[in-house]
Amino acid sequence: MSASLPFGAMAEVVVVPADRCTVIPDAMPFDQAAAFQVTYGTVYYALVGRGGLQQGETLLVLGAGGGIGLAAVELGKALGARVVAAASSQDKLDVALAMGADAGVVYPGSLAGAADSKAFTEAIRSACGGDGPDVVIDPIGGAYAEPAFRSVAWQARYLVVGFAAGIPSIPLNLVLLKGAQIIGVFWGAYMARSPHRGAEDMKALLDLFAEGRVNPLVSEYYSLERGGEAIARLASRSVHGKIVVEVVSSDHRMTD
């Protein structure tokens, strides 16, 4: 059994509403289950429920080395898209490429000015084949959002998932000129408002796992006592894939 909690999961015992629980297949290890429900649920809702990603379209994944990013790479490929990964270092990009991305871009740790921003836009367009991405999934925000949006194709969908680099500002005239959409992705609210649809999403995701088309990457493990260190590692934005906090009680061995 896997469950998603908005807070309070780092404990030996928790009480969880039934609609936040999912029966996992016997073949799914508990560490991958801990890395699966929220991350892949969010990305599936983004790409399918909000972005309407179609087979043959080009998907740009920002922050492609992290948990959301790698899930987007895998799910984008499973849905038949051409996936372009953008990451902040070559080693993160290498992981994304190994997990199925078709092409990639390494962006700098900061965009110092207009020249850097324009170079990032052009690098995306080049990696996408010239027309730019049809769909962008963005868990990063900050200074990267506007140049990424400038790269998009006509009538693209820009999916806002998070703000790891800060909350961006995108000029609305760009939205008009691109005929594009900026779409918010709030998986927690979606699950609260539409639990039955969320359960259908999870069934589809578990089917993809059973078929071997998605395989969550867990790169680091921490004990419950070191949970603060795990959070600090996530905040550093240097993690590949997901971190798992292992909770060991007198009766059970669990992961968060």
pLDDT in tens, 113-170: 999 999 999 999 999 987 999 999 999 999 999 999 999 999 999 999 999 999 999 9
Lowest average pLDDT, out of 78-92, 100-114, 241-255, goes to: 241-255
- d(CA 69, CA 218) in angstroms, rounded, equals 13
Q: What is the pLDDT of residue 141?
A: 96
Q: From CA 75, how far away is CA 41, in angstroms rounded?
A: 10
Mean pLDDT of 22-28: 87
How high is the pLDDT of residue 145? 97
Determine the pLDDT at residue 24: 87
Q: How far apart are CA 44 and CA 68, in angstroms?
A: 10
Domain ranges of the chain: 39-188
Coil, helix or strand at residue 226: helix
Lowest mean pLDDT among 27-31, 124-128, 197-201: 27-31
pLDDT for position 226: 92
Confidence category of residue 252, pLDDT binned at 50, 70, 90:
very low
Look up residue 219 and give its two tokens: 């790169």
Provide the mean pLDDT of the chain: 92
CATH class of the domain defined by 39-188: alpha beta
Give the tens place of pLDDT for each residue, 51-70: 999 999 999 999 999 999 99
Using pLDDT thresholds of 50, 70 and 90, give the confidence band for residue 83. very high
pLDDT in the model for residue 250: 45
Say how far apart CA 52 and CA 45 lie, in whole Å. Answer: 9
- Pairing assessment for the beta strands 21-22 and 58-62 based on DSSP bridges: unpaired
What is the greatest pairwise CA distance in the chain? Answer: 60
DSSP 243: E
Inter-axis angle of helices 37-44 and 67-78, to 10 degrees?
A: 50
Asked whether the predicted pLDDT for residue 206 surpasses 70, the reply is: yes
